[in-house]
Amino acid sequence: MAELPNLKGVATQDLVESIGSGRFSASYINWSRTMQMFRENAPGWQVETLFAADGTLLHKAPVGGYLLLRLRHLDGTCTPEVPQAVMDNRNNAIPYEKITARDITDTQRRGACLVLAMQTGLAHELWAKMPLESGYQQPEELETQQSVKKPVSSQKSSKTQAPSSSGQDAAADAKGSKTEFVSLAKEMGLVEPAIKDLISKINENYANGIKTLKSKDDKFVLQMNERFQASEY
């Protein structure tokens, strides 16, 4: 029977990455690096996802579903199963009938890091402070409201009026609002690709975008940044 290794302390500071800044900053280790550390320091062991009774990986719960994961050695030694719930970006259970293939693969990544921390101590120091990179589906998109366009009434006048500068003023205001939005997003710690994604969703309604952005917490920042960092792998 293979001995389960103690991997406490294997995750060193040079492997840690940072997300955000100020009160929105956090440290994490990419899930793929976690798996590589596991392979290098625990030869013969691997993470195993157990099948449900219906032959799929998804186990049904009273509300939602979950995956069962454990560690298995090449000699057949297995550890106890660890459940990992399929959750949305708010850590709420996703209804079973709405769980997608992406939800399952994201949960498998997170569950692998969970079982390694629980049963080998790998990167448990960071897990205690924040989740390792989960690959969860993108967080709730920034809420936007349709701008109410007021009809402009024109009055007939016999006098020739000078060209209005309202168009230029509006453009200047819009630019200023965009600058303020980007500045706030950077101050919160959002990475450039995440900021561009949010800008594409607010339909130039920067005032409302700023209001909504101010209502978001550090979890939103982390999940947005993780989403775009995950796309690099």
- Amino acid identity, position 190: L
Provide the CA 51 distance to its chain's centre, in angstroms: 26
User: Within the chain, what is the greatest distance between any pair of CA atoms?
Assistant: 99
Q: Which residue has the higher pLDDT, 23 or 156?
A: 23
Q: Structure pTM?
A: 0.54
- Res 224: pLDDT: 80
| The token pair that represents 21 in the structure block | 């800044």
- Res 35: pLDDT: 93
- Res 21: pLDDT: 59
Confidence of residue 24 (pLDDT cuts 50, 70, 90): low
What are the DSSP E strand ranges found in the chain?
17-19, 26-28, 45-50, 59-60, 65-73, 82-85
Task: Kindly tell me if the per-residue pLDDT of 218 is higher than 80.
Answer: no
- Mean predicted lDDT score pLDDT of the chain: 78
Confidence of residue 154 (pLDDT cuts 50, 70, 90): very low
- Res 127: pLDDT: 58
**Cβ-proximal residues to 130 (8 Å cutoff; 6+ apart), any chain:** 26, 27, 28, 222
The arithmetic mean of pLDDT across residues 168-178, rounded, is: 56
Q: Which residue has the higher pLDDT, 228 or 192?
A: 192
Give me the sign of the Cα torsion angle 34, 117, 28, 209.
positive
pLDDT in tens, 103-145: 999 999 999 999 999 999 998 876 565 443 433 344 444 444 4
pLDDT in tens, 6-18: 998 888 777 777 7
The Cα 153–Cα 142 span in angstroms is: 33
